């Protein structure tokens, strides 16, 4: 309900940010896209959409429902296009699939493709992190250059749909709505809870329909997964900082871009993995083993990056004891 307000209050927005940023924040997007086309929508600055085109409504019923039939509906073309490229016909989706697809329009990793900032989901080769990495490599894409290591980086954003899709619940056909919009009773009628929120505030409805344990036990299970994930995330952060420090040290003794190519590439790989988990909003719960695997890879790539940088230092005769090593 407050998505648009929150976005417009963000100092990051500035005057230049393209319409692409508005895609998941306003129910007026589909109508504009239908009238003027997606290219123009993505190119038009948010400021102009608000001031000239009267964008003022946040996410509402029509973002997930057909306004005539109330059927669940996909309203964002980036999701349609990405699924089409993967050979999936969403018009044939089952009702249970739609109960996750509606969320997958917005709760996903994406990037702005080309000068027109065309909203694109990097799923052509699959939705696991490794396929997303391969996609960005093939496109030769980076979002930014790291100020210290000068590595070409990818910024990940909220990949809930992707991470969920690798977990035991997706495999067991449990949808986003099953946990975030569980049924509740009003008298004799079962209705879908539209207070979309953390299931931790609603465990009886969200989990106990399928799990026979107590609320306390289910909460403990979630928190245990989240604590372990957080621990691994911090370890990967320390490893990534060591990689950056190693590359910086090599740069200080005059290492060339060619010599640092491997180290920078490994820094990119490790940090995009950490970011994929950090930017995902369940802190590991949506797919605990996959998340641990990705963070394990992040730590390994970061330490490999550090070793590559040290090889350069050693080659240049910097004594080992002068090479700082952080834990």
Contact between residue 71 and residue 79 where contact means Cβ atoms under 8 Å apart: no
- Separation CA 266–CA 250 (nearest Å): 15
- 17 contributes a contact to ligand HEC by CB under 6 A: no
Is residue 40 close enough to count as binding ligand HEC by CB under 6 A? no
In angstroms, give the least distance from the CB of 323 to ligand HEC.
40
Alpha-carbon gap, residue 17 to 202, rounded angstroms: 37
Spatial CB neighbours of 299, under 8 Å, sequence gap ≥ 6: 232, 235, 236, 239, 270
User: Contact, 264 vs 247, CB < 8 A?
Assistant: yes
**Is 70 a binder of ligand HEC (CB under 6 A)?**
yes
Q: Number of residues interacting with ligand HEC: please give it, by CB under 6 A.
A: 57
Sign (positive or negative) of CA dihedral 25, 31, 36, 39: positive
- C-alpha 132, offset from chain centre: 11
Q: Are 162 and 132 in contact (CB under 8 A)?
A: yes
Burial bucket for residue 92 (CB in 10 Å: 0-12, 13-18, 19+): exposed
By beta-carbon proximity to ligand HEC, the closer residue of 84 and 209 is 209
Span of 80-88, 95-103, 135-143, 316-324 interacting with ligand HEC by CB under 6 A: 95-103
Per CB under 6 A, 109 contacts ligand HEC: no
The answer to the question of residue 30 lying near ligand HEC (CB under 6 A) is: no
Told to check if 210 binds ligand HEC by CB under 6 A, we report yes
- Candidate residues 45, 79, 99, 121; the one interacting with ligand HEC per rule CB under 6 A: 99
Which of 21, 22, 46, 181 touches ligand HEC by CB under 6 A? 181
- Indicate which single residue of 3, 88, 90, 241 sits in contact with ligand HEC (rule: CB under 6 A): 3
- Contact footprint for ligand HEC (CB under 6 A): 2-3, 6, 24-25, 59-61, 63-65, 70, 72, 95, 99-100, 102-107, 160-161, 164, 168-169, 172, 174, 176-181, 191-192, 194, 196-200, 206-207, 209-211, 218, 221-222, 281-283, 285-286, 288
């Amino acid at each position: 309900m407050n998505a648009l307000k929150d976005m417009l209050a963000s100092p990051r927005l500035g005057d230049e940010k393209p319409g692409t940023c508005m895609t998941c924040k306003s129910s007026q997007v589909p109508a504009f896209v239908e009238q003027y086309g997606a290219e123009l929508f993505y190119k038009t600055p948010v400021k102009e959409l608000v001031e000239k085109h009267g964008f003022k409504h946040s996410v509402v019923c029509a973002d997930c429902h057909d306004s005539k039939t109330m059927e669940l509906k996909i309203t964002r073309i980036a999701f349609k296009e990405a699924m089409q490229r993967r050979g999936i016909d969403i018009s044939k989706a089952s009702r249970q699939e739609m109960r996750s697809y509606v969320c997958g329009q917005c709760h996903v990793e994406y990037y702005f493709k080309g000068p027109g900032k065309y909203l694109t989901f990097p799923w052509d080769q699959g939705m696991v992190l490794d396929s997303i990495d391969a996609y960005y490599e093939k496109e030769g894409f980076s979002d930014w250059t790291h100020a210290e290591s000068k590595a070409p980086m990818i910024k990940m954003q909220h990949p809930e749909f992707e991470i969920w899709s690798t977990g035991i619940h997706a495999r067991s056909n449990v949808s986003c709505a099953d946990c975030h919009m569980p049924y509740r009773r009003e008298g004799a009628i079962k209705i879908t809870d539209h207070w979309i929120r953390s299931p931790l505030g609603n465990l009886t409805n969200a989990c106990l329909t399928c799990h026979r344990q107590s609320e306390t036990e289910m909460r403990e299970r979630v928190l245990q997964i989240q604590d372990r994930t957080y621990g691994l995330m911090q370890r990967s952060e320390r490893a990534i900082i060591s990689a950056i420090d190693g590359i910086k040290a090599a740069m200080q003794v005059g290492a060339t871009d060619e010599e640092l190519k491997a180290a920078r590439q490994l820094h990119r790989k490790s940090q995009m993995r950490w970011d994929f988990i950090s930017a995902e909003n369940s802190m590991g719960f949506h797919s605990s083993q996959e998340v641990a695997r990705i963070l394990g890879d992040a730590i390994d790539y970061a330490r490999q990056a550090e070793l590559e940088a040290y090889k350069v230092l050693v080659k240049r005769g910097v004594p080992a004891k002068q090479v700082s090593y952080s834990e």
